[in-house]
Amino acid sequence: MVDDHVLMREGLREILEMQPDISVVGEAGDSTGAVAMVELHRPRVVLLDVEIPGADVTDTVARLHEVSPASEIIILSMYDGPYLLQRLLALGIRGYLLKTVSRQELVTAVRNACADDGRIILSVSRRSLAQVPGGGPIGALSPRELDVLQLAAQAMSNAQIATRLYLTEATIKRHLSNIFAKLGAVSRIDAVNKAVAASLISGHHGDERSPARPGPKPGSHH
């Protein structure tokens, strides 16, 4: 269990340890502690609060998968945003539960995460789910591919993106090729438009969409 509120962890522990088939093997209150705890115990399921101190939740999820690939991650959140849900699904989380779920829903989610059936466990609003194409991630773009696409939306060239992300231009071209395939896009503009429509990236297109700035009027002084 990973949550920075001790009272929340105590409540979760009480709920889960009332079940004869579930035991809590470790707790943490921040991202660094979460990684250390999961690496030590290799739990079957990780209940991860979305707003713990330390690294961004997407970075924490990626790191947890690195240190314990077999651990299934269920996100607990007060927020119902489709963009974050999209990114976390792309990272391979097993579930996303709002903290308004009942005790039984939480216990059922943990048990289902232990089943090797590959089902995704979601407790979100219809509005949020409707904005996730097909009920799941659109082409499962990786965090790095999303970074590349966001910079492409700012009208950066491949060379500029490579410099910004400390990658080679060839790597950027490979990422874009993968992005096109996953989104079914035929161009950078098409990929950006589809990603913006799916709330994968923000809709700032930089110079590519900005109108030309008019010059000073004749006779004016600046």
With 0-12 CB in 10 A as exposed, 13-18 as middle and 19+ as buried, what is 221? exposed
Position 125 in a domain: yes
pLDDT digit string, tens, across residues 67-105: 999 999 999 988 776 767 877 888 889 999 999 899 999
Domain-ending residue, one of 75, 103, 132: 132
CA distance 214 to 69: 55
Q: For residue 222, what pLDDT band results from cuts at 50, 70 and 90?
A: very low
127 and 149 assigned to the same domain:
no
37 and 89 assigned to the same domain:
yes
126 and 172 assigned to the same domain:
no
CATH code for the domain of 90? 3.40.50.2300
pLDDT digit string, tens, across residues 105-129: 999 999 999 987 778 888 876 666 6
Domain-ending residue, one of 111, 132, 153: 132
Mean pLDDT over the full length of the chain: 83
CA distance 86 to 110: 21
CA distance 56 to 45: 20
CA distance 200 to 82: 9
* DSSP three-state, residue 97: strand
Position 218 in a domain: no
CATH code for the domain of 149? 1.10.10.10
CA 51 and chain centroid, separation:
13
Range of the domain at 83: 6-132
Which of 20-34, 37-51, 168-182 is predicted least confidently?
168-182
Position 1 in a domain: no
pLDDT digit string, tens, across residues 55-69: 888 889 999 999 999
Position 119 in a domain: yes
11 and 74 assigned to the same domain:
yes
List 2's β-bridge partners, or say none.
28, 48
105 and 162 assigned to the same domain:
no
The reported pLDDT for the residue numbered 137 is 45
